[in-house]
Amino acid sequence: MDLRSVALGDQLEERCIEMWVYQKSLEYPAGVTATNPRLAKDVITQYGGPDGELGASLRYLTQRYTMPLPQAKAALTDIGTEELAHLEIVATLVYNLIRDASLEDIKKAGMDDYYADHDKAVYFVNASGMPWVATYIQSKGDPITDITEDMAAEQKARSTYEYLIQLSDDPDVTETLRFLWQREIVHFQRFGELLDLLQEYYGHQHYFDMNGFDPNKVLKQE
């Protein structure tokens, strides 16, 4: 553990600079009422689907390197880390929904194609079995572009959780999905605040601008 002084506004604080650590508990007490491979096949999309938690965590954690503001570096680190905790919650749901399923249950649920490749292991696929790909996410180097993508990502994840809640016939799974759904709304709010801070940082004239393009110069030439 390395102690360094971190300047934040006019405050100067001694803080621990830490690596990642694992904590042996979930962020939310996830529960499953009954074995249900049919539901597992849907919920798994938030593990390895286009708007799932793997993409979310990797997107935010890789975008933070090129952020110019301390608030943005901190929020992307913390939200990216929270998404990893959500990834573990989704995995817990999927694992518990299929762990006691018989082969007959799995066939009836249409999960036999998944079983052929993964048995009952938890793998990164969407609801129709497509594996996770890095093209689900972007890291563009333009902070306004990246935070705008993050806001859209939170909305897409919120919609997905709403569809999963509609599909869920397991009361305990529904409760857990509702928690994850709420977190998407909080993250969207935080990203919106970052967008405001970034627009202020760039002086309000660059929001829809390309790098290096100065609308004032163009106007003067006319």
- Work out the widest C-alpha separation in the chain, in whole angstroms: 74
Q: What are phi and psi of 13, to 5 degrees?
A: -125, 150
Residues within window 91-130 making contact with another protein, judged by CB under 8 A: 91-92, 95-96, 100, 105
* Both structure tokens of 137: 């996410």
- Please report whether residue 5 would count as binding another protein according to CB under 8 A: no
For residues 210 and 142, give the distance between their C-alpha atoms in angstroms, rounded to a whole number: 9
> Binding another protein by CB under 8 A: which of 3, 5, 24, 208?
24
When computed from its CA atoms, the radius of gyration of the chain, rounded to whole angstroms, is: 21
- The enclosing H or E element of 17 equals strand 11-17
| Choices 54-62, 86-94, 131-139, 209-217 (CB under 8 A): range interacting with another protein | 86-94
Residue 222 in contact with residue 216, Cβ under 8 Å? no
User: Cβ 172 to another protein, closest distance in Å?
Assistant: 6
Residues within window 58-77 making contact with another protein, judged by CB under 8 A: 70-71, 74-75
Site string for another protein, 31-60 (x = CB under 8 A): xxxxxx------------------------
| Placement of tokens 């007959």 in the chain | 104
Site residues (CB under 8 A) for another protein? Answer: 8-9, 18-19, 21-36, 70-71, 74-75, 78-79, 82, 88, 91-92, 95-96, 100, 105, 169-172, 175, 186-187, 190, 193-194, 197
